[in-house]
Structure 1
Amino acid sequence: MSDFLNQFGEDLKKNVPGFIAVSVAEIKSGISYLSLTVVPDFDPELASAFNLEVVKAKMNAINVLGLNDQVIDNIMITLSTQIHIIDISDNGEYFIYLAVDATKANLGMTKAILNKYKKEIASKL
């Protein structure tokens, strides 16, 4: 597990333009399995804790609205200088939280890399 997550984090850091931080956390417990940042003042574990509440709120909304055939693929939050992406694993048990610099980000490349790994996260954790 650790080798896979370390490789995932390093791949994002190396290949995602504008990479700021990433974490991988379990939705049920909130436990963070990976936390990596290139900005010392940015705490991806703390950000994940808050974004877990966003994920849970959206899951509750889906349930209350009776959208039982729907699942969250990802949630994108655009700030003035950053883009935060919350990507849910295929089994719905984990999420990847990624922060990138909005002025440098290539969302197509970023989503392609996330999609490659999110399929594996469910089976490797």
Structure 2
Amino acid sequence: MSNFLEQFVSDVKSNIPGLIAVSVSEVSTGVSYVSHSEKKDFDPEIASSFNLEVVKAKKSAIEALGLKSNIQDILITLSDQIHIIDVSDNGEYFIYLAVDSSKANLGMTRALLGRYKKEIVKEL
């Protein structure tokens, strides 16, 4: 598993322009399996723990509304950053990604995350 996660971080670093930070966490426990930050003052594990609460709140809202949908991703746009919480199809894991909005291509980034999250479900 660790080789896969190391390769995942390497791929993200190579393929996602403007990368600030990335992590992969389990929804049920909040355990972060891997994290990486390009900035010393940006802790992706702390960010993931707060974003886990966002995922749980959205799941509760979906349930309260009686919707039959699952979360694909949650997009948070800040003035200079884009944060994406990309939830696996089975709802067990999420990738948290922060990128510099002036350098990132949102469409390409979301497409890559979609591919990566399918691989994560297979490997974890």
TM-score of the superposed pair, with normalisation by structure 1: 0.97
Letter aligned with residue 116 of structure 1? R
- Separation of aligned partners in 2, 1:70 and 1:112: 20
Letter aligned with residue 63 of structure 2? N
Letter aligned with residue 113 of structure 2? L
Deviations 1:29-63 (A, max 9, x none): 00000100111110000000000000000000000
Letter aligned with residue 90 of structure 1? D
Judge which range, 92-101 or 108-117, deviates more. 108-117
What is the aligned partner in structure 1 of residue 21 from structure 2? 21
Q: 1:1-125 residue pairs with structure 2 within 5 A?
A: 1-67=1-67, 69-125=68-124
Q: CA deviation at 1:91?
A: 1.1
The number of equivalent residue pairs is 124
Q: Gapped runs of 5+ residues in structure 2?
A: none
Give the root-mean-square deviation of aligned CA atoms.
0.7
Q: Runs of 4 or more off by more than 6 Å in structure 1? A: none
